[in-house]
Amino acid sequence: MFSLYLHIPFCVRKCLYCDFLSGVYSEEAKEAYVKAMLRELKQEADYYKNRTVDTVFFGGGTPTLLSKEQLTRLMDSLYRNYRLSKQAEISMEMNPGTADTEKLTCMYELGINRLSIGLQSTEDRLLRKLGRIHSYEQFEKIYKTARKIGFSNINIDVMSALPGQTTEAYERTLQTVLSLEPEHISAYSLIIEEGTYFAQHAGELELPQEEEERRMYYLTGEMLGRAGYERYEISNYAKKGYACRHNLAYWKRTDYAGFGIGAASLVDGVRWSNVRDFKQYLTGQHRKEQVEALSCEAAMEEFMFLGLRCMEGILPEQFFRQFGRKLETVYGSRIDVLKAQGLLQWCGNRLCLTARGIDVSNYVFEQFLL
Amino acid sequence: MDQSKIRNFCIVAHIDHGKSTLADRIIEKTGLLTEREMQNQVLDNMELERERGITIKAQTVRVIYKARDGEEYIFNLIDTPGHVDFNYEVSRSLAACDGAILVVDAAQGIEAQTLANVYLALDHDLDVFPVINKIDLPSAQPDFVKNEIEDVIGIEAQDAPLISAKNGIGIEEVLEQIVQKIPAPKGDPEAPLQALIFDSVYDSYKGVIIFCRIKEGRVKKGTKIRMMASGAEEEVVEVGYFGAGQFLPCEELSAGMVGYITASIKNVKDTTVGDTVTDADRPCVEALPGYKKVQSMVYCGLYPADGAKYPDLRDALEKLQLNDASLNYEPETSIALGFGFRCGFLGLLHLEIIQERLEREYNLDLVTTAPGVIYKVYKTNGEVIELTNPSNLPDPSEIDYMEEPVVSAEIMVTTEFIGSIMELCQERRGRYLGMDYIEGTRALLKYELPLNEIIYDFFDALKSRSRGYASFDYDIKGYERSELVKLDILINKEEVDALSFIVHKDSAYERGRKMCEKLKDEIPRRLFEIPIQAAVGGKVIARETVKAMRKDVLAKCYGGDIARKKKLLEKQKEGKKRMHQVGNVEIPQKAFMSVLKLDDK
């Protein structure tokens, strides 16, 4: 199992809550970036030549801001330099305001077989508050177009706990989204991240109270569950067989290589990030900032706090197979305490978060730091 | 040395009226120092002092001035600490002088500390002459201030030099007036040695360095000296005088001179300020008047945030005490905080300074408990306890009555704020003594106030309720009987000893309520609900609840940047390490200081 991530940091404008490494770039800068990424893809290819790529993910930013021609060059490079599995999942994030029939057709023809569309809300009022560049109508149009072209694996991103959002309004958003029958839904609670516009204006936002925020979260699980979606990770829901394989790679800690500024990689037990500086990236000095060869301890910590994000939880046998130590020896007493606190439970032979455990998952994860 | 050519003097002023700046100019103009050597303010040589703009330890400098009469004069400028906490040090520094320069801000006029300091100087029979500073300010009113000085203080001010210490204007005139208006010292060099200690510092090479004014007789290398109060005896290793920022050895010090003595003394406690140095082989008949043992007025517990640093804290306190005899400490244990020290200070500023020095110079992370004063507890069995730690208060059934220290306070304020300041004093259990009007626009309010009501945030409250116009000075008056109770704080039903404090019974409810409110904000939420209660004698009088943590979740964990997520978790875990565990609740460091900030709304 091996995955590739391509980071496309371009945006039409920055959403007010967003703390990802992204921004507004000129056409010249975009072209220079694509060239640098092509160079990086080629340079690194040799290192991964014995691996079969199972998933590819174009994230951002807004990857759909790439021109058809730029997209084609990037996909070409992937096919030429990497061994992509026949069943590879190739996902691309998309902003509804940045694609049309022509571009979607091109993407489809290039082999991109999964779309992840950032809708966030069906209320135009909220979309404007978030600084999104599109309306609901635009979204619906592009969604239907994508279906017509043939995309059969589509994710829709929605957000809850937005400023001024009521549970009732959120329920309507979910209903509308469900009526479109996407294969996958990512439902995130808004987090006010440091350095964002929202963080600077936190006082004026009228965010829902914690109780209401949790109500929305529970509502998501209930409604999507009833509609046949399974929650497989804290914020991710999918129809059977449509869990995002690329995302799972992160939780299951299989190897992945990231390309583009700030992109993170985990290969052969070493984590690193690419440089975050755009200009430096263009010079070709892309790797590696913050290289960390994971110690056995660090790997065990990750195994726990990433594995437990998945609703199916973790398998003690797998822990033993990976680290040669028993889960009980390393974490036995901590697990006992968390079980007694009602935050963890055994589901058959798997250890999982309880509903309350999900609510305070950071606290639970923290307990697994050695 | 010709006594008639010596001038021993100090500068007195209200804080910020420009005392240290004038001192700098005097040193500069007398030419012992080149401009390159001048640090910004030569006398305040501790880093902390310069940052806070106040003088903590008295510093002294000797300069040479060639006067208009063609003669060379020796000026010994004795710097005095500028804060009420150090009143005794001020009084000993004054006792080493023959005269004083009074600096008054041309825009601000006379303030509470101006008066307090002038009266202190006049009490020591010093000849005082005024200097009007900051005349270059647009709001300067030199003539008004001159009249004010004459009317309020009653000293001649018409020929007071009009200066700007900052811009070096009028300094020559100040130097001339020092020669003319400050009397030369008296004293018989042939009489038995009698010298006043007005300061001492510890130097790791020389041992204790005594700063003294020779009143009678002489002292030189080899003289066997005796400290009359402490009884310590040592042979003199070196005598000298004070260059700017350095010690300059000389042959001998004789009557009228100001200088230093070293005698391989290891402990500043043997050379307390105010003590008299004499010749052990030919002692003087009696010690100089005015010696008193400095009493700590404010006590608090100091604990290392990290329990393993306890020995480091002990070493640091030991070292600080070498230089500061007014600091005292003894070990104590707290259930909540572990091993630490109960420390005594001259006042709250002194406490803050020591705390900052421990943190800055010794790199210690400290937890400070609520400061308190010394209460006298009269027990039914006739025993009297001097209580410095609230935890040691005996059971109420064993207490007959208690007493608390009271101060006489003088507050100078512009008339428009009299009402709000009187209200403040009433809230703080003040007893109104009277009021004098000064120049029609200002008044001097006189109150008696319990010390424990002013050690927290009285000064801040005073400033904020008068928009910065009120100034304040106080003297310890004595002990008075008072209805006091111990307020305990229970967190998750467990009493936290380090949060207990003594309070007047009428303020207990108010304080308890505010304390609970404050702690509610400071204590991080847990998986369960945490009650916070204030109790007096086992009876709960106020309660707040820290609600159970509802949610602690990273909704998105995006892009495979796992290292960053892990850092967040680690940061969260690290934050808890720095807290103090009481039962199963973590209490952050600053919660222990929250009692200090109850009035900051």
**pLDDT tens per residue across span B272-291:** 888 999 999 999 989 988 77
**Could you tell me if B550 lies within 8 Å of chain A, comparing CB atoms?**
yes
**Could you tell me if A215 lies within 8 Å of chain B, comparing CB atoms?**
no
Alpha carbon A321 to its chain's center:
28
Share of chain B above pLDDT 90, in %: 44
Q: Is the pLDDT of residue B129 over 90?
A: yes
pLDDT band at B556 (very low <50, low <70, confident <90, very high): low
Buried b (16+ CB within 10 A) or exposed e, B268-307: bebbbbbbbbbbeeebbeebbeebeebebbbbbbbbbbee
- A190 within 8 A of B553, measured Cβ to Cβ: no
pLDDT band at A122 (very low <50, low <70, confident <90, very high): very high
pLDDT digits (tens, 9 = 90+) for A134-183: 999 999 999 999 999 999 999 999 999 999 999 999 999 999 999 999 99
Closest CA to B51 of B12, B20, B84, B85: B20
Chain A residues within 8 A of B557 when measuring between CB atoms: 234, 250, 306, 309
Q: Is the pLDDT of residue B260 over 60?
A: yes
**Could you tell me if A211 lies within 8 Å of chain B, comparing CB atoms?**
yes
Chain B residues within 8 A of A256 when measuring between CB atoms: 560
Dihedrals phi, psi of A159, to nearest 5 degrees: -125, 145
Q: B348 Cβ partners below 8 Å, 6+ apart?
A: B85, B298, B371, B455, B456, B459
Q: Nearest Cβ partner of B569 from A211, A273, A365?
A: A365
Closest CA to A364 of B61, B553, B62: B553
C-alpha A104/C-alpha B573 separation (Å) is: 46
What pLDDT sits at residue B17?
82
pLDDT band at B123 (very low <50, low <70, confident <90, very high): confident
Measured CA to CA in angstroms, residue A349 lies from A233, A300, B62, B217 at distances of: 18, 19, 85, 94
Six token digits for residue B506: 């009428």
Alpha-carbon dihedral angle through residues B301, B302, B308, B310, given to the nearest 10 degrees: -90
Buried b (16+ CB within 10 A) or exposed e, A148-168: eeebebbbbbbbbbbbebebe
Q: A161 Cβ partners below 8 Å, 6+ apart?
A: A189, A190, A207, A208, A212, A213, A216
C-alpha B422/C-alpha B416 separation (Å) is: 11
Give residue B380's identity as a one-letter amino acid code.
T
**Could you tell me if A258 lies within 8 Å of chain B, comparing CB atoms?**
yes
Q: Is the dihedral of CA A276, A280, A285, A290 positive or negative?
A: negative
**Could you tell me if A322 lies within 8 Å of chain B, comparing CB atoms?**
no
Six token digits for residue A82: 């990497």
pLDDT digits (tens, 9 = 90+) for B199-226: 888 887 888 889 999 999 999 999 999 9
C-alpha A329/C-alpha A347 separation (Å) is: 20
**Could you tell me if B601 lies within 8 Å of chain A, comparing CB atoms?**
no
**Could you tell me if A188 lies within 8 Å of chain B, comparing CB atoms?**
yes
Q: Nearest Cβ partner of A271 from B527, B558, B563?
A: B563
Q: Identify from B547, B562, B570 which residue to disrupt to test chain A contact, counting A C-beta atoms within 10 A and taking the largest count.
A: B562
Share of chain A above pLDDT 90, in %: 90
What pLDDT sits at residue B215?
95
Q: Is the dihedral of CA B205, B206, B208, B212 positive or negative?
A: negative
pLDDT band at B122 (very low <50, low <70, confident <90, very high): confident
Chain B residues within 8 A of A362 when measuring between CB atoms: 552-554, 568-569, 572
pTM of the model: 0.68
What pLDDT sits at residue B551?
83
pLDDT digits (tens, 9 = 90+) for A294-346: 999 999 999 999 999 999 999 999 999 999 999 999 999 999 999 999 999 99
- Bridge-partner residues for B173, per DSSP? none
Mean pLDDT value of segment B110-125: 83
**Could you tell me if A235 lies within 8 Å of chain B, comparing CB atoms?**
yes
**Could you tell me if A271 lies within 8 Å of chain B, comparing CB atoms?**
yes
Do A361 and B552 lie within an 8 Å CB cutoff?
Answer: yes
Mean pLDDT value of segment B450-459: 84
What pLDDT sits at residue B29?
82
Q: Is the pLDDT of residue A126 over 90?
A: yes
Do B551 and A213 lie within an 8 Å CB cutoff?
Answer: yes
**Could you tell me if A109 lies within 8 Å of chain B, comparing CB atoms?**
no
pLDDT band at B120 (very low <50, low <70, confident <90, very high): confident
Share of chain B above pLDDT 70, in %: 92
What pLDDT sits at residue B52?
44
Q: A292 Cβ partners below 8 Å, 6+ apart?
A: A270, A271, A272, A298, B563
Six token digits for residue B350: 């002194």
Closest CA to A271 of A307, A301, A235: A301
Q: Is the pLDDT of residue B134 over 70?
A: yes
pLDDT band at B527 (very low <50, low <70, confident <90, very high): confident
Question: What's A220-288 look like in SS3?
Answer: HHHHHHHCCCEEEECCEEECCCCCCHHHHHHHHCCEEEEECCCCEEEECCEEEECCCCHHHHHCCCCCC
The shortest C-alpha distance from B549 to chain A (Å) reads 8
Mean pLDDT value of segment A186-199: 90
Do A250 and B572 lie within an 8 Å CB cutoff?
Answer: no
CB-count exposure of residue A331 (10 Å: 0-12, 13-18, 19+): buried
Q: Is the pLDDT of residue A287 over 80?
A: no
pLDDT digits (tens, 9 = 90+) for B11-33: 988 877 888 888 888 888 886 64
Dihedrals phi, psi of B250, to nearest 5 degrees: -145, 175
- What length is written for chain B? 601
- Bridge-partner residues for A271, per DSSP? A266, A292
3-class secondary structure, B316: helix
Do B558 and A20 lie within an 8 Å CB cutoff?
Answer: yes
Q: Is the pLDDT of residue A44 over 90?
A: yes
What pLDDT sits at residue B32?
60
What pLDDT sits at residue A129?
93
Helix (H) or strand (E) holding B203: strand B194-203
Query: Which string of DSSP letters, residue by residue, matches B389-431?
Result: SGGGPPPGGGEEEEEEEEEEEEEEEEGGGHHHHHHHHHHTT-E
**Could you tell me if A299 lies within 8 Å of chain B, comparing CB atoms?**
no
Across all residues in chain B, what is the average pLDDT? 86
Closest CA to A10 of A72, A106, A97, A89: A97
Question: What residue of B is the nearest CA neighbor of A211?
Answer: B550
Could you report the predicted ipTM of this complex, rounded to two decimals?
0.86
What pLDDT sits at residue B259?
92
Six token digits for residue A178: 């469900």
